[in-house]
């Protein structure tokens, strides 16, 4: 009878009913919902990455520096190797990165590799994966990134101050199989709260920041500069890697008239490219864009804007060279080799619901909480390695919470129980006021991982927890 039944879930159920339970060959056994979801995931991203054996060694020094955010002013910042952002680190997929971080600040620090699936001990979370790096000390981070894409690095200690003062940088993992764009640009977006003389406002984690969506500045920058001019050529096809490194501000980047396509989110290629339309780039998020500069744009200046507030605010200018247009390469944009359909994922049981809320009190006067608890001592969930999990974030507050899960990629499944149609992985998802958001994932990396709000003031005052994958 089994041979005559077509292999569908319903058919298999019938087959087993009539042929008796345990007797069936496991390959013919009915797949449970969980098994189907895990099967669909296969090939989404790898459990391991074979190292090529090539090791790239980098020295990063965190120290005070002067940086011209708004020339002619010089701003006293904290920086990696003297620049904001720090140096762009580029490695090839399979290569090993060895970064010695030396702390020349007057306070302890650590480095977190945002979005990179690193061995747990390299994740840079003080008190969870390593002790703080004291002033004058060094620590060497060593790992082989498992995924190609746009990632970033930043401190995970006193981050509302350390990141705000300029400590961040970008790590690009290149896949030689992806097409070559004529320029591969990195745009790190940030905003700064500057006082007279372009000095950084020195109060951090204020009651105001905590009662709102963290610290929003009064001046936005691209790569540490206010409204920079970026040289491009008419006809050229460029890849732009946009990173939001702000403490709290959400950007909605726009390139009017350029029809940018989103080819990657949070590092990972999308299942299919899609047009950039009011994409909320929350703190921590990245977007990779495929952009063709129009052939007839020679000599023009095109604006890059932020349209989060509705009114476009200029972030940068694209300065199109006066020369005749160059030839536009016609390759297909890169896309993910596999992405799970997961159309039944909302039927899977919930592994955990995280309740996001605030209460009065605590060292800052307001404490942001996950499940009524504050800080990384809260082990909020244990997820089984290699198995499908569904998680829900329920926001009981009126503020924004971009929730970031270390060491994992997940897919948005639903917002307020309405199915979501995103065709890409994320490591950070923005949860709006009073919203609930469901995500699905198959954890492929074991360890104790931070799960927190990426509005740094919210995280600092308590909106921080851990999950364990085992």
* Chain contacts with Cu ion (rule: CB under 5 A): 401, 453, 455, 458
Give the shortest CB-207-to-Cu ion separation in angstroms.
15
Residue owning tokens 């498992």: 146
Quick check: 34 and 388 in contact, CB under 8 A?
A: yes
**Does 447 help bind ligand C2O (rule: CB under 6 A)?**
no
Judged by CB under 6 A, the residue of 117, 146, 390, 452 near ligand C2O is 452
Counting beta carbons within 10 angstroms of the beta carbon of residue 176, is it exposed (0 to 12), middle (13 to 18) or buried (19 or more)?
A: exposed
Closest CB to ligand C2O among residues 129, 367: 129
Closest CB to ligand C2O among residues 335, 446: 446
* Contact residues for 65 (Cβ-Cβ < 8 A; gap 6+): 76, 77, 78, 79, 82, 83, 84, 166
Q: Report the partner that residue 284 touches, choosing among Cu ion, ligand C2O, none (CB closer than 5 to 8 A by kind).
A: ligand C2O
What are residue 281's phi and psi, to 5 degrees? Answer: -90, 100
Closest CB to ligand C2O among residues 195, 377: 377
**Contact flags string 384-423 toward ligand C2O, x per CB under 6 A:** --------------------x-x-----------------
**Does 117 help bind ligand C2O (rule: CB under 6 A)?**
no
Closest CB to Cu ion among residues 49, 401: 401
DSSP states along 364-382: TSEEEEETTB-STT-EEEE
Q: Report the partner that residue 453 touches, choosing among ligand C2O, Cu ion, none (CB closer than 5 to 8 A by kind).
A: Cu ion
Give the shortest CB-155-to-ligand C2O separation in angstroms.
9
Segment near ligand C2O (CB under 6 A), from 48-56, 89-97, 137-145, 450-458? Answer: 450-458
Closest CB to Cu ion among residues 298, 397: 397
Closest CB to ligand C2O among residues 336, 450: 450
Alpha carbons 71 and 254: distance in angstroms, whole number: 25
DSSP states along 304-349: EEE-TTSS-EEEEEEEE-SSPPPPPP-PPPP--S-----TTGGGSP
Distances (CA, A) of 155 to 124, 166, 409: 8, 10, 21
Give the shortest CB-213-to-Cu ion separation in angstroms.
7
Alpha carbons 374 and 363: distance in angstroms, whole number: 11
**Does 241 help bind ligand C2O (rule: CB under 6 A)?**
no
Q: What angle do CA 88, 92, 95 make, to 5 degrees?
A: 105
Tell me the helices (H) and strands (E) count for the chain, helix number first. 5, 31
Judged by CB under 6 A, the residue of 284, 402, 407, 447 near ligand C2O is 284
Position of minimal CB gap to ligand C2O: 114
> CA quadruple 173, 305, 453, 335: dihedral positive or negative?
negative
**Does 426 help bind ligand C2O (rule: CB under 6 A)?**
no
Quick check: 281 and 246 in contact, CB under 8 A?
A: no
Closest CB to ligand C2O among residues 125, 276: 125
Q: Report the partner that residue 237 touches, choosing among Cu ion, ligand C2O, none (CB closer than 5 to 8 A by kind).
A: none
Residues that bind ligand C2O (CB under 6 A): 112, 114, 154, 156, 284, 404, 406, 450, 452, 454
């Amino acid at each position: 009878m089994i041979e005559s039944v077509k292999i569908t879930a319903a058919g298999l159920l019938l087959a087993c009913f009539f042929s008796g339970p345990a007797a069936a060959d496991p390959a013919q056994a009915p797949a449970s919902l969980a098994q189907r979801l895990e099967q669909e995931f296969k090939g989404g991203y790898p459990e391991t990455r074979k190292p090529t054996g090539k090791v790239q060694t980098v020295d990063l020094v965190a120290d005070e520096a002067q940086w011209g955010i708004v020339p002619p002013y010089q701003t006293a910042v904290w920086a990696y190797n003297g620049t904001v952002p720090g140096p762009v680190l580029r490695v090839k997929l399979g290569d090993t990165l060895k970064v010695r971080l030396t702390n020349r600040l007057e306070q302890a620090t650590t480095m977190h590799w945002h979005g990179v699936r690193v061995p747990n001990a390299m994740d840079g979370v003080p008190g969870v994966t390593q002790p703080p790096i004291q002033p004058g000390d060094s620590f060497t981070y060593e790992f082989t990134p498992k995924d190609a894409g746009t990632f970033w690095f930043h401190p995970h200690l006193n981050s509302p101050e350390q990141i705000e003062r300029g400590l961040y940088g970008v790590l690009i993992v290149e896949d030689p199989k992806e097409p070559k764009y004529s320029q591969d640009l990195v745009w790190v977006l940030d905003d700064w709260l500057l006082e007279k003389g372009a000095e950084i406002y020195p109060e951090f984690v204020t009651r105001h920041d905590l009662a709102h969506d963290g610290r929003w500045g009064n001046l936005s920058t691209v790569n540490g500069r206010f409204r920079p001019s970026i040289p491009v050529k008419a006809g050229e096809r460029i890849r732009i890697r946009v990173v939001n490194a702000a403490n709290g501000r959400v950007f909605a980047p726009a390139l009017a008239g350029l029809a940018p396509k989103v080819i990657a989110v949070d590092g990972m290629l999308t299942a299919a490219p899609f047009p950039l339309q009011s994409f909320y780039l929350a703190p921590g998020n990245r977007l990779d864009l495929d952009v063709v500069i129009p052939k007839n744009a020679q000599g023009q200046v095109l604006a890059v804007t932020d349209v989060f507030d509705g009114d476009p605010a200029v972030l940068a200018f694209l300065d199109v060279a006066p020369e005749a247009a160059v030839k536009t390469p016609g390759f297909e944009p890169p896309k993910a080799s596999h992405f799970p359909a997961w159309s039944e994922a909302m039927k899977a049981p919930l592994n955990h619901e995280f309740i996001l809320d605030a209460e009065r009190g605590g060292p800052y006067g307001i404490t942001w909480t996950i499940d009524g608890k504050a800080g990384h001592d809260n082990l909020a969930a244990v997820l089984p390695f290699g198995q499908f999990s569904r998680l829900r974030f329920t926001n009981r507050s009126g503020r924004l919470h971009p929730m970031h899960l270390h060491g994992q990629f997940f897919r948005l499944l639903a917002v307020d129980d309405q199915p979501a149609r995103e065709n890409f992985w994320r490591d950070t998802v923005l949860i709006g006021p009073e919203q609930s958001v469901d995500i699905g994932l198959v954890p492929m990396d074991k360890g104790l991982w931070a799960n927190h709000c990426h509005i740094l003031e919210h995280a600092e005052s308590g909106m921080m927890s851990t999950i364990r994958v085992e």
